[in-house]
Amino acid sequence: MKAFFFDMDGVLFDSMLNHAIAWEEAMQRHGLCFSQHECFLNEGRTGMDVIHSFARAQGRNLSEQEVHAIYDEKTIRYRQIGGGVPMKGVADVLQFLQEQGKQIWVVTGGGQLDLYEQLEAAFPGCFCPSRMVTAHNVTHGKPHPEPYLKAWENCGLPKEECCVVENAPLGVRAGHAAGLFTVAVNTGPLEDQLLWNEGANAVFHDMAQLLSWLKKQ
């Protein structure tokens, strides 16, 4: 493996619980039902995609203005309650991959304008703007394979030399559908089986397990 495509929330950042809390509150304020559990099940999709599909399913036809208002309120609330912190042990994984001369990418459905600054603050020197795929670079977000295919097309390596690192079922589905080796680190409340069901090639429970696996490759 020469390139590693890291998902962001739930992989690089321990942030999913605060995302789930903020999502539930923002959706409820606009009369939409969206539980924290549903947030984990839908993790990986872009925020706009989540709002549109839950509104449609609940018979609501939201204006673009309201969709953006929900997303903005969710983002503000997420930061108010503390946002995310670097995932325990992931800095060691990144350092090991850097020492081995591997390409390190981030492939996220997130669309905040300061994503790179967040990465640079948490993991100095590990990421670069040309090795990022965000909500702004794709037509279809996860679980569509497009985000991971875009990273693969731009990395210049054959598929068998690329590895996706995910935590969520829909993210694993995207990596698998892109035809890439996909490992899952189950950092959230869902059962491992959901990750295996989507085609995970390996499932770990924390970054230390991922690191010892990497050292054996």
The residues binding Ca ion (CB under 5 A) are 7, 9-10, 167-168
29: its two tokens: 């304020």
Single out the residue of 139, 166, 205, 171 nearest to residue 42, CA to CA. 171
Nearer to Ca ion, 62 or 185 (CB): 185
* Shortest distance in whole angstroms from residue 171 CB to Ca ion: 5
* Shortest distance in whole angstroms from residue 64 CB to Ca ion: 26
Residue at shortest CB range from Ca ion: 10
Task: Say how many CA atoms lie within 13 Å of 140 toward its Cβ.
Answer: 12
Single out the residue of 79, 75, 90 nearest to residue 6, CA to CA. 90
Nearer to Ca ion, 62 or 143 (CB): 143
Any alpha helices (H) in the chain, and if so which ranges? Answer: 16-29, 36-41, 47-57, 64-80, 90-99, 115-122, 146-155, 169-177, 192-197, 207-216
Nearer to Ca ion, 104 or 168 (CB): 168
* Shortest distance in whole angstroms from residue 14 CB to Ca ion: 11
Nearer to Ca ion, 149 or 170 (CB): 170
* Shortest distance in whole angstroms from residue 128 CB to Ca ion: 21
Nearer to Ca ion, 60 or 201 (CB): 201
Exposure of 190 by Cβ count < 10 A (0-12 exposed, 13-18 middle, 19+ buried)? middle
Instruction: Work out whether the CA dihedral 34, 40, 41, 47 comes out positive or negative.
Output: positive
Nearer to Ca ion, 24 or 43 (CB): 43
* Shortest distance in whole angstroms from residue 59 CB to Ca ion: 29
Q: How many residues are listed for the chain in this entry?
A: 217
* Shortest distance in whole angstroms from residue 42 CB to Ca ion: 11
